[in-house]
Structure 1
Amino acid sequence: MRIGIRGWLMGGITTLWCSLAAAGSAPAHTSWPLVIDNCGHQVTLDRPPERVVTLGQHETELFLALGLDDRMAGTGVWFGPLPERLAARGRDIPRLSDNAPSLEAVAARRPDFVAAQYTYHLGPHGEVATRHQFEELGIATWVSPSDCIGKQVTDTSNSDGARVRPFTMAQILLEIRQLARIFDVPARGEALGRALEERIRKARQQAASLPEKAPLKVVYWFSSPRLQGDAWVAGNMGAPAWINRELHLENVIDSTQEWPTVSWERIAAADPDIIVLADMERRLYPADDIAQKLAFLRADPVTRELRAVRNNHVVIVPAQSLNPSLRMVDALERISQALPDIAPAS
């Protein structure tokens, strides 16, 4: 593997998946060696990887969706269970850790390719290791383009970095295309991309069928450092912002941070029509528990007076579906299906 540094802010990624097959030709198989720029690194491969460890549930689910479970030697970093459509494929894949596994635990699986959802786990100060550490062991590395395109990632901290341009689904489609090339499964990549775009089209159509009114106001509550304290809610740059654009919803939190901490008094002043809650198996904080989230909303003297709480306009989605991932389409569908019961009649 050879590594080189190039500018990685790959602007202008707006090509939709369907345009890739406009000529009607079959997707081409990979020519070797293959060189792909990935988040500022040039990854050079002489053949498709044979043993993969994934760090992050998005990467795990993406490999399963591409039918690459026979290449998966281990996984780490989980928020919750696999979706039903992928559960059988992923049942026997070793889970190294629910959180971040060690470098030694990953290397013990003898991978030739490690794919991470977040720079946090595989960046300059990676919680698992740096890309250089893996590459010294002869292991190729990969970071999801959704965690570097349009973001400023610093070499001086282990921060995920700040998003400077709004996330778009094009970044996930780009990753599907690139991994399909790396593993020489172009037809599977094309089929997955088309299926996602069809689901997005139907959810968008559902929202467009509602009476034309002012956009419904929404807040997305992921978790909180303290249940009684400020909440981690979605800003205007991450995956929930993409959902809002697709469904013509208005975020009550105007922030360029992906998940700012915001007081419930500030949320109450905006009085959203909809509250979207993240459901997860992780238990780092009390508010990770969906039951505690719901109990708090109904009991706290501020939150129980929110219009969305009084009207029970609360939508629960998997936490992973609020991260840049394939699962965003699950959240898009769930929210779009709830809108007819929430939107005021014409």
Structure 2
Amino acid sequence: MRQSKFISLMLVALSLGPAPYVYSQCYYPVSNSTPEKVISLNQFATENMLLLDLEDHLIGTAYPDDSYEPSLLPKLAGIPELATRWPSKEQVVLAQPDFIYAGFPSAFSAAALGEQSQWHQWGIGTLIGASYCNPVKGRLQLEDIWTEITEVAELFARQSQLQRLKAERMQQLAQLRKVKPYRVLHIDMADAIARSAGGWSGADLLIRLAGGQNITANLHQRWVNLSWERVMEENPEVITIAVSQESTPDKAIELLTTHPALKGIDAVVNRRFVAIPFTETMVSPRLTQGVQRLNQALVEFQNKEQQ
């Protein structure tokens, strides 16, 4: 029965025809109307919707990376979470959305929902967030965290909510403390090698805004893999560790403190580790909270040195 219903829904959607026009590399509408029934994929995409008071448009979410921003939890209540990672095509079609908003292009890979063009043929518009759909061209600046959510605000006519959000977050950043420019390594995952953030990543921007120096700033990529010998040579003073479904700080800290090549590096000797939710390293307004978190930790490290 479920399979026949799935096929029936696809046939109905097919009758709507493909998208009439493609506006950009990342946004594919199938009508001129504002989307009413949206499924968001990836936590920062969901948070962007909620920050703009668009919870009434959300009929489902998927792929939370860590804990949602606490202030958004009341808005999230009652919205179905379709999957902890990618939902199946059947789950999405049965929810009957008119729009899918994904944070990462991998949402429309063969391993996830398949190509965007298929969904357009079924009458469902799609958006891959500009932060990761567009090719990276250099080091990010503060204004880049607003690019994607600005597109969403324009799509749903939420410019006033966006302006209030920007004013609030910029005021918070204005209160950051000046700190010693610690040399920082960000680790996304740690095992045989360190998966780290390159100089063109959200984590690099986070580190700079917090007052630190990213030791991989000269690597012109979003993500880089480093050998532990390279980490030893760079001798970071602080190590930030992403917290997500895929990794925990406890596991990374255990590796860092027991690895023979790492026992002598400054961050390990002085136990300067900072756990940062993965979503706070994304190129979105949530990054401002990661900046505040790291800045506070750097202030504490500095005060301890001065005692």
Instruction: State the TM bucket, normalised to the shorter chain.
Output: 0.7 to 0.9
- Taking only the aligned residue pairs, the percentage that are identical comes to 23
TM superposition shift of 1:40: 5.2
Structure 1 residues 91 and 41 mapped into 2: Cα distance closer, same or farther (>3 Å)? closer
Structure 2 Cα separation of the partners of residues 38 and 331 of structure 1: 30
Structure 1 residues 246 and 93 mapped into 2: Cα distance closer, same or farther (>3 Å)? same
Contact 1:167 1:237 in 2 (8 A): yes
What's 1:315 paired with?
274
Q: Which of 294, 297, 301 matches 2:260?
A: 301
Query: Which secondary structure state, in structure 2, belongs to the residue aligned with residue 166 of structure 1?
Result: coil
Matched, 1:340 2:304: no
Query: Which secondary structure state, in structure 2, belongs to the residue aligned with residue 184 of structure 1?
Result: coil
What's 2:53 paired with?
67
Matched, 1:2 2:20: yes
Structure 1 Cα separation of the partners of residues 39 and 28 of structure 2: 19
Structure 1 residues 329 and 52 mapped into 2: Cα distance closer, same or farther (>3 Å)? same
Can you list the C-alpha shifts for 1:216-264, whole angstroms capped at 9, x where unaligned? 210001113xx2x111011100101112332342222231222211111
Contact 1:145 1:172 in 2 (8 A): no
Contact 1:200 1:329 in 2 (8 A): yes
Matched, 1:132 2:105: no
The gaps in structure 1 that reach 5 residues or longer are 5-36, 152-162
1:179 is matched by which residue type in structure 2? V
Matched, 1:167 2:140: yes
1:222 is matched by which residue type in structure 2? D
Structure 2 Cα separation of the partners of residues 81 and 250 of structure 1: 27
Structure 1 residues 54 and 192 mapped into 2: Cα distance closer, same or farther (>3 Å)? same
TM superposition shift of 1:108: 1.2
Structure 1 residues 137 and 146 mapped into 2: Cα distance closer, same or farther (>3 Å)? same
1:182 is matched by which residue type in structure 2? L
Matched, 1:270 2:229: no
Can you list the C-alpha shifts for 1:286-311, whole angstroms capped at 9, x where unaligned? xx122211222222222222211111
Query: Which secondary structure state, in structure 2, belongs to the residue aligned with residue 223 of structure 1?
Result: strand
Structure 1 residues 181 and 40 mapped into 2: Cα distance closer, same or farther (>3 Å)? closer
Structure 1 residues 169 and 113 mapped into 2: Cα distance closer, same or farther (>3 Å)? farther
Contact 1:3 1:41 in 2 (8 A): no
Contact 2:281 2:287 in 1 (8 A): yes
Structure 1 Cα separation of the partners of residues 249 and 265 of structure 2: 18
Structure 2 Cα separation of the partners of residues 324 and 194 of structure 1: 17
Matched, 1:250 2:213: yes
TM superposition shift of 1:172: 3.3
Query: Which secondary structure state, in structure 1, belongs to the residue aligned with residue 140 of structure 2?
Result: coil
Q: Which of 193, 206, 209 matches 1:230?
A: 193
Structure 2 Cα separation of the partners of residues 330 and 178 of structure 1: 21
Contact 1:80 1:318 in 2 (8 A): yes
TM superposition shift of 1:54: 0.5
Query: Which secondary structure state, in structure 1, belongs to the residue aligned with residue 174 of structure 2?
Result: helix
1:46-61 superposed matches below 5 A:
46-61=32-47
Query: Which secondary structure state, in structure 2, belongs to the residue aligned with residue 221 of structure 1?
Result: strand
Can you list the C-alpha shifts for 1:68-112, whole angstroms capped at 9, x where unaligned? 111111111221121211112112211111111122211111111
Structure 2 Cα separation of the partners of residues 80 and 324 of structure 1: 16
The structure that is helix-richer by fraction is 2
Matched, 1:261 2:261: no
Structure 2 Cα separation of the partners of residues 275 and 193 of structure 1: 29
TM superposition shift of 1:44: 6.4
TM superposition shift of 1:266: 0.9
Q: Which runs of 4+ in 1 moved over 4 A?
A: none
What's 1:156 paired with?
none
TM-score if structure 2 supplies the norm length?
0.86
What's 2:149 paired with?
176
1:232 is matched by which residue type in structure 2? R
